[in-house]
Amino acid sequence: MSIRERLSGNEAAAIAMKQINPDVVAAFPITPSTEIPQYFSTFVNNGAVDTEFVAVESEHSAMSACVGAEAAGGRAMTATSANGLSYMWEMIYIASSMRLPIVMSLVNRAVSGPLNIHNDHSDAMGVRDAGWIMLFSENNQEAYDNLIMAHQIAEHKDVLLPLMVCQDGFITSHSIENIELIEDDKVKEFVGKYTPEHYLLNEKEPIAMGPLDLQAYLFEHKAQQAEAMRHAKQVILDVSSKFEEMTGRHYSFFEEYKLDDAEIAIVCMNSTAGTTKFVVDALRKKGIKAGLLKVRVFRPFPAEDIANALAHLKAIAVLDKADSLNAIGGALYTDVTSGMYVNNKQVPCVNYIYGIGGRDTKADEIEAVFHDLEEIANTGKIENPYRYMGLRG
């Protein structure tokens, strides 16, 4: 029987970590993720876990410690945001190239500069091609659930890639919501014991990790990482299915909200999906066939599945909470449109950059996007596919 609680997203993440009870947690404080290691350190102090908590001097050191712990055969976790993730940059790539299934809670925040501590997705988008599996979370429940599933995905023998669970800074990380926790013994059984096949402290198999890798091998090793990311798609579905058996909560690559009979739809990630659902419900009452596709799994990107789910629509808007500054739209937009083109699904599609630096995203702004889509659906014309939502001036 699940445990009903009222928790912030950061508290939910810390409790998930407590239930997982990793061998090592290394972390350095940065807003808005600071509370996660702060809460977790109390569990270490009161004996609720037997984790080795490493209070390091920087985020680069935090990821370095996780790399060392995981390479030695331990299960390692951390948490960070924005500039902290940027400071980890070198070690983020080393973790994935060494095929170390580290799990990180990434509380999304704008990356400097100028300095801003509020939510957008520029930190996650900055490492989208670093070889990490990326799960996004609409609310506190999903942040908790994604962390419970994370190790089963990352540590699978066909995957062995690090994984980050994203949630929106302050919007979910500091907001208290009702949540259903899983009993400790069930989490322990579900997550299982980490038993790596190859690790540095195995005296029966001396190995080297992270060696110089020049022209003769690096290409093939990168291809192996790409293959592991492709394998992760099926593993994510399998783990989600097991999770649903345990909790009754269903997860897949994305959530389709009133999308089956929709004529126009928005594609977005994280907490904005909640506002969009509210608007969809309001428009449905007016007879407007609006829908939503909420992306949960951003890496590996489920291009074919998303293309098929959107193929019947008359117009689509993709919302990006970070601008790629490339003059051709945000990262989610380019992935969606590329996936649809490759899979021969042609639907008029526009991009809206929104919410930069924590700018509020209101229901009336989402509704205005749907009205823009109505016009596109009626005329079949897109004057400008690259747009802003909520931009002053």
The C-alpha R_g of the chain, in whole angstroms, comes to 21
Residues 176 and 193 in one domain: yes
Indicate the average pLDDT of the chain: 97
Residues 84 and 182 in one domain: yes
Q: Choose the final residue of a domain: 196, 222, 247.
A: 247
Cβ–Cβ < 8 Å for 150, 163: yes
Record the pTM.
Answer: 0.98
Percent of the chain clearing pLDDT 70 (strictly above):
100
The answer on pLDDT for 232 being more than 80 is: yes
Note the pLDDT of residue 2.
83
Residues 237 and 136 in one domain: yes
Residues 222 and 330 in one domain: no
283: CATH:
3.40.50.920
Residues 115 and 159 in one domain: yes
**Domain total for the chain?**
2
The answer on pLDDT for 137 being more than 70 is: yes
* Residue among 149, 328, 118, 333 at smallest CA distance from 232: 149
| pLDDT tens digits, one per residue of 237-273 | 999 999 999 999 999 999 999 999 999 999 999 999 9
Could you list the beta-strand ranges (E) of 103-234.
Answer: 103-108, 133-136, 163-168, 176-181
- pLDDT band, very low/low/confident/very high, at 1 (cuts 50, 70, 90): low
Residues 84 and 147 in one domain: yes
Compute the average pLDDT of residues 287-295.
99
Compute the average pLDDT of residues 329-334.
98
Residues 136 and 280 in one domain: no
Residues 276 and 164 in one domain: no
d(CA 175, CA 140): 8
Q: Choose the final residue of a domain: 199, 225, 247.
A: 247
Cβ–Cβ < 8 Å for 86, 123: yes
Compute the average pLDDT of residues 186-199.
97
State the residue range of the domain holding 321. Answer: 254-389
- pLDDT band, very low/low/confident/very high, at 230 (cuts 50, 70, 90): very high
Residues 21 and 112 in one domain: yes
Work out the angle between the directed axes of helices 59-71 and 89-97 (0-180°, nearest 10). 10
Residues 187 and 270 in one domain: no
Residues 237 and 259 in one domain: no
d(CA 129, CA 300): 10
59: CATH:
3.40.50.970
Residues 264 and 128 in one domain: no
| pLDDT tens digits, one per residue of 338-350 | 999 999 999 999 9
